[in-house]
Structure 1
Amino acid sequence: MPPKPSDPAAPDTEARLLEIVFPDHTNHLGTLFGGTALAWMDKAAFIAASRYARRTVVTARSEQVDFKLPIRQGQLVETIAKVVEVGRTSMQVDVDLVAEDLLTGERELCTRGHFVMIALDARGRPTEVTPLP
């Protein structure tokens, strides 16, 4: 029987980060810079993969990042990263950016991306990762 998510022996597959969009995060239109969004997504992918593998990880690739809706200054952004597939040394992580209006509570999926992370051993070489349960 696979371990239950609440089982301490079960590997964590998800990470969630919260940020507020301040003026220094925005472009001349008052919306989040794409590069800032990518940095937040990469950070969440790193945390999710690190927690899953319990190893040093690096980003091998980011692919298919879709900016669906703008994220505006003053909005709360929840970055949700989840390990969805595991290879021999790699982990595929899906990452969503969800914007929330703090006054109304309205939430919208604004950006979605896919990241490939590689686990490294102490010498900086790719190392095996436990398969997903």
Structure 2
Amino acid sequence: MNAADTTVPPTEVRMAEIVFPNHTNHMGTLFGGQALAWMDKAAFLAAARYSRRTVVTARSDQVDFKLPIRVGQMVETIGRVVRVGRSSMHVEVELVTEDLLSGARQLCTKGTFVMIALDAEGHPTGVPVLPLPRD
């Protein structure tokens, strides 16, 4: 079986960004709003990729800013569909920094977003059942 033949929808997306000065506050750390925008984008992509539907953000649950993200760091944004309802998908999103010279990685921010799948008329519509993890 090749990748195009898979019947299990992908549940994860990964994006990489570099933090530039225009992304930061006066302390040289990433604006919270910028972090949330990257996280919402990853949640959108993960949910749309999983459901193969148009999706919208219904809610962002607790977002924990654990460590500051600084100018010059690479940020990997990882979104994973972790639970589904009839039309909703809970997407866990992490921001992980990586020092490009040393390779050191740290989890800096984590949160959950609830995305809703929509049909062509903009009404909530069903999504596939989340497959059980394989052993």
TM-score range, shorter chain: over 0.9
Residue 55 of structure 1 aligns to which amino acid in structure 2? R
Partner SS, residue 39 of structure 1: helix
Partner SS, residue 28 of structure 1: coil
Deviation, 1:7, is 6.0
Deviation, 1:49, is 0.2
Partner of 1:86: 84
Residue 10 of structure 1 aligns to which amino acid in structure 2? V
Match for 1:124 among 112, 122, 125?
122
Partner of 1:114: 112
* Superposition map of 1:34-113 within 5 A: 34-113=32-111
Structure 2 unmatched ranges of 5 or more: none
Structure 1 unmatched ranges of 5 or more: none
**1:35-54 Cα deviation digits (max 9, x unpaired):** 00000000000000000000
Deviation, 1:10, is 1.0
Partner SS, residue 88 of structure 1: coil
With the length of structure 1 as denominator, give the TM-score of the two structures. 0.94
CA distance in 1, matches of 2:51, 2:15: 19
With the length of structure 2 as denominator, give the TM-score of the two structures. 0.93
CA distance in 1, matches of 2:117, 2:4: 24
Deviation, 1:6, is 9.1
| Alignment length (residue pairs) | 129
Partner SS, residue 52 of structure 1: helix
Residue 75 of structure 2 aligns to which amino acid in structure 1? V
Q: Percent identity?
A: 72
Structure 1 runs, 4 residues or longer, greater than 3 Å off: none
Residue 120 of structure 1 aligns to which amino acid in structure 2? L
What's the Cα RMSD here?
A: 1.2
**1:43-89 Cα deviation digits (max 9, x unpaired):** 00000000000000000000110000000000000000000000000
Query: 116-125 vs 5-14, which deviates more?
Result: 5-14
